[in-house]
């Protein structure tokens, strides 16, 4: 915040305070001495300046104190006791600044680690990857966490392009680990398996193996599961999409003519097949060339306003498309979902929030930069 034309001006507030105290002391009577207030200067510097900057202001505070105090007649001088106060305040402020700077460096390092984890789970996707225009937004319920259990990815392969969007139950590093496990399996199975149901089976098997692993370690998250939507875009058909829904909200098809929910059936979440041995159904549903498929996690569908009412996503998108048909483009669509969710919940997200939109590319030049892929 304290920058001007790209240059830091953190030195300005303590310098202004130092000057103001010296001038005020000079213009007040001998009975009202405020030069001792100069001890505040290194304290302010410790909060916003670096270590050396704080040390410089500590020395300046002692020097200005000595000069200003010596300019008064002897009977009005604050003397040695207040000088010791200013000197002690400067030393303590410098030490406090050392602690603050080290903590900031530690926090920056942890942020870098978190960003690396996030890029592993939500890897950057090339534009128009696998013949799809795509865009995604991801918001964590904890603004400081930067990464959670929501995940999405696109995997092109010889049998078509596959898309996976999901939400791991629970929070914390265990949810992130599970998301990474599922994505790793999806990236391999999505490429090598000819049938989409085989990909779904591989995800289920991998979740069960991961739960066995965490249970063997004695961890308390061995019953974790994940809701997800698995989409397949066949190479021989451009007017349909295959869908497998694992206990998740069905995808929405958003087009100039309105918003509809795909009748993709529904099964149990990944990791719950022991409750019902039958696999989730695979549905092939028609999708028009100008329709975008939108998958969101429960951070969107369960967002509440001040009255406790849920966010009605389909209705909001219907109004948005009617007002501006360009909203159907993936980049614009996910931004509309993000903004609508934040407005509805007034910025108070109860869960991680993800919106991911895909549609087949229309040609080599596409729709233009404003409608192409974007990451937010």
CATH number of this structure's domain 126-371, picked from the four choices 3.30.1330.10, 3.40.440.10, 3.60.40.10, 3.90.800.10:
3.60.40.10
pLDDT under 50: residue ranges of the chain: 143, 364-376
Q: Two tokens at 321?
A: 């498309």
- Residue boundaries of the structural domains of the chain: 3-113, 126-371
67, β-bridge pairs: none
Integer angstrom CA distances of residue 328 from 264, 284, 293, 344: 21, 22, 9, 20
Q: Is 139 exposed, middle or buried (0-12, 13-18, 19+ CB in 10 A)?
A: buried
pLDDT of 372 reads 39
Record the pTM.
0.71
| pLDDT single digits (tens) 311-361 | 999 999 999 999 999 999 999 999 999 999 999 888 887 778 899 999 998
Q: Any residues with CB less than 8 A from the CB of 251 and at least 6 apart, and which?
A: 229, 231, 243, 261, 262, 264, 293, 294, 295
Q: Are 228 and 270 in contact (CB under 8 A)?
A: yes
pLDDT of 322 reads 92
């Amino acid at each position: 915040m304290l920058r001007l034309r790209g240059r830091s001006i953190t030195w300005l507030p303590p310098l202004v305070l130092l000057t103001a105290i010296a001038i005020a002391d000079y213009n007040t009577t001998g009975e009202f001495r405020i030069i001792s207030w100069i001890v505040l200067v290194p304290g302010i510097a410790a909060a916003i300046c670096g270590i050396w900057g704080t040390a410089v202001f500590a020395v300046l505070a002692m020097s200005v104190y000595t000069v200003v105090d010596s300019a008064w007649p002897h009977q009005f001088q604050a003397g040695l006791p207040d000088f010791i106060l200013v000197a002690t305040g400067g030393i303590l402020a410098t030490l406090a600044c050392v602690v603050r700077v080290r903590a900031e460096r530690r926090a920056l390092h942890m942020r870098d680690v978190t960003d690396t984890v996030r890029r592993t789970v939500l890897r950057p996707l090339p534009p128009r990857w696998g013949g799809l225009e795509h865009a995604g937004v991801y918001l964590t319920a904890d603004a400081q966490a930067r990464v959670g259990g929501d995940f999405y990815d696109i995997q092109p392969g010889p049998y078509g392009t596959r898309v996976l969007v999901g939400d791991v139950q629970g929070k914390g590093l265990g949810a992130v680990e599970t998301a990474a496990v599922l994505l790793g399996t999806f990236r391999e199975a999505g490429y090598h398996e000819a049938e989409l149901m085989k990909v779904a089976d591989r995800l289920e098997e991998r979740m069960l193996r991961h739960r066995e692993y965490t249970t063997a370690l004695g961890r308390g998250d061995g019953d974790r599961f994940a809701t997800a939507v698995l989409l397949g875009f066949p190479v021989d058909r451009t007017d349909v999409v295959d869908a497998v829904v694992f206990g998740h909200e069905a995808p929405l098809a958003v087009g100039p003519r309105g918003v509809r929910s795909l009748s993709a059936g529904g099964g149990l979440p990944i990791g719950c097949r022991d409750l019902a041995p039958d696999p989730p159904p695979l549905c092939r549903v028609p999708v028009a060339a100008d329709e975008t498929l939108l998958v969101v996690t429960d951070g969107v569908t369960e967002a509440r306003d001040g009255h406790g009412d849920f966010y009605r996503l389909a209705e909001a998108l219907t109004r948005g498309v009617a007002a501006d048909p360009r909203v159907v483009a993936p980049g614009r669509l996910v931004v509309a979902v993000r903004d609508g969710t934040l407005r509805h919940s007034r910025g108070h997200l109860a869960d991680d929030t993800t919106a991911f939109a895909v549609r087949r590319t229309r040609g080599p030049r596409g729709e233009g930069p404003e409608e192409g892929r974007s990451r937010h």
